[in-house]
């Protein structure tokens, strides 16, 4: 009797959109809050990327991305942007498999969800592997750190007075706008000497200078923050895939909504990469 009155009471008072009975945005609480979390996260990323833009604009030169990011595994060099394009494709492909997992979830097809989520996890792990290789090359071989940036850009025309045993030979031309890397030999930095041939400093002997200091910190912090998102995404995907396989979501009978929520997060990580790719590698 008591319960009856209570139910009746609820039905009469909670009818408006904001009374709590209905969903004004026709989305569950969890999904809505995932959207708002992603909104706030986009502001965090935007803060980082805008700082990158402001610092880049404040410098007379900036390392040219197709020079900095031109190595491939297997000691292949001078292949600008190829490796990072492969990384982008891996992430895009994992976004596609995620869409398929969500669609199978709506069909209440447990096997399909598990299969496509497993593929998404493989994609995420492959992306992290690529990023680990990229960082290892930059830190281990090219000696870039958060405080040292060996990638510079020439501003004057001239001639090299010495070679570095890599790509630069004595007598090579120094071309304004062209990038260089300062190699490290043991503890010594090989800041090559060159003679300026044009402009007001013509005749002077100068040595290669380090590039804008902020480059390393910005690169490692921004791609690192993104990579950390990918890593947490992979962990959550794994947990949700195991739950889907165990039949937990089938019992809830809500079209595998949990898969949909992690899907939103995963696509967001892909979305952020679009802009990291744009600002660090393309422009």
Partner 1 sequence: MGHVTYDESKKLANKTIVILAVITISEVLFALIGKGYIIDGVHFPHWLIAGVMILMSIIKAYLIIYEFMHMKYEVPGLVKTVLLPTLLLVWAIIAFSAEGKDWKARRDLIKHKNSETSELFMKK
Instruction: List residues near partner 1 by CB under 8 A.
Output: 24-27, 32, 35-36, 38-39, 42-43, 46, 50-51, 53-60, 66, 80-81, 85, 88-89, 92-93, 95-96, 98-100, 103, 106-107, 255, 263-264, 267-268, 270-271, 274-275, 277-278, 282-283
In angstroms, give the least distance from the CB of 32 to partner 1.
7
Three-state SS sequence of the chain: CHHHHHHHHHHHHCCCCCCCCCCCCCCCHHHHHHHHHHHHHHHHHHHHHHHHHHHHHCCCCCCCHHHHCCCECCCECCCCCHHHHHHHHHHHHHHHHHHHHHHHHHCCCHHHHHHHHHHHHHHHHHHHHHHHHHHHHHHHHCCCCCCCCCEEECCCCEEECCCCCCCCCCCCEECCCCEEECCEECCEECCCEEEECCCCCCCCEEECCCCCCHHHHHHHHHHHHHHHHHHHHHHHHHHHHHHHHHCHHHHHCCCCHHHHHHHHHHHHHHHHHHHHHHHHHHC
Q: Which of residues 6 and 278 has its CB atom nearest to partner 1 in the complex?
A: 278
> Shortest gap between Cβ of 180 and partner 1 (angstroms)?
16
Judged by CB, which is closer to partner 1: 26, or 185?
26
Closest approach of partner 1 to the CB of residue 98, in Å: 8
Q: Which is nearer to partner 1, 132 or 282 (CB)?
A: 282
Query: Is the CB of 70 or the CB of 131 nearer to partner 1?
Result: 70
Q: Kindly tell me which of 71 and 95 has the beta carbon lying closer to partner 1.
A: 95
Q: How far is the CB of 117 from partner 1 (least distance, A)?
A: 15
> Is the CB of 98 or the CB of 208 nearer to partner 1?
98
In whole angstroms, the minimum distance from the beta carbon of 214 to partner 1 comes to 11
Min dist. Cβ of residue 221 to partner 1 (A):
17
> Do residues 277 and 88 touch, judged by C-beta distance below 8 A?
yes
């Amino acid at each position: 009797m008591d319960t009856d009155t209570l139910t009746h009471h609820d039905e009469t008072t909670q009818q408006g959109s904001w009374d709590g009975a209905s969903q004004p945005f026709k989305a569950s609480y969890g999904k809505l809050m995932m959207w708002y979390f992603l909104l706030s996260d986009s502001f965090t990323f935007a803060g980082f990327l805008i700082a990158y833009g402001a610092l880049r604009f404040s410098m007379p030169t900036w390392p040219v991305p197709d020079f900095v990011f031109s190595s491939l595994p297997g000691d292949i060099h001078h292949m600008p942007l190829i490796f990072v394009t492969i990384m982008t494709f891996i992430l895009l492909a994992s976004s596609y498999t995620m869409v398929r997992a969500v669609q199978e979830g709506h069909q209440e097809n447990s096997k399909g969800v598990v299969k496509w989520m497993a593929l998404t996890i493989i994609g995420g792990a492959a992306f992290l592997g690529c990023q680990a290789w990229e960082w290892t090359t930059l830190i281990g071989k090219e000696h870039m750190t958060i405080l040292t940036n060996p990638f510079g850009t020439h501003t004057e025309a001239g001639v090299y007075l010495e070679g570095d045993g890599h790509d630069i030979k004595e007598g090579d031309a120094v071309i304004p706008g062209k990038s260089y890397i300062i190699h490290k030999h043991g503890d010594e930095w090989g800041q090559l000497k060159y003679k300026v041939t044009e402009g007001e400093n013509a005749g002077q002997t100068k040595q290669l200078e380090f590039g804008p200091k902020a480059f390393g910190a910005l690169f490692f912090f921004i791609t690192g923050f993104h990579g950390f998102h990918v890593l947490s995404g992979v962990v959550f995907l794994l947990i949700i895939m195991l739950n889907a396989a165990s039949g937990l979501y089938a019992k809830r009978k809500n079209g595998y909504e949990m898969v949909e929520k992690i899907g939103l997060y995963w696509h967001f990580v892909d979305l952020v990469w679009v802009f990291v790719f744009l600002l660090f590698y393309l422009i």
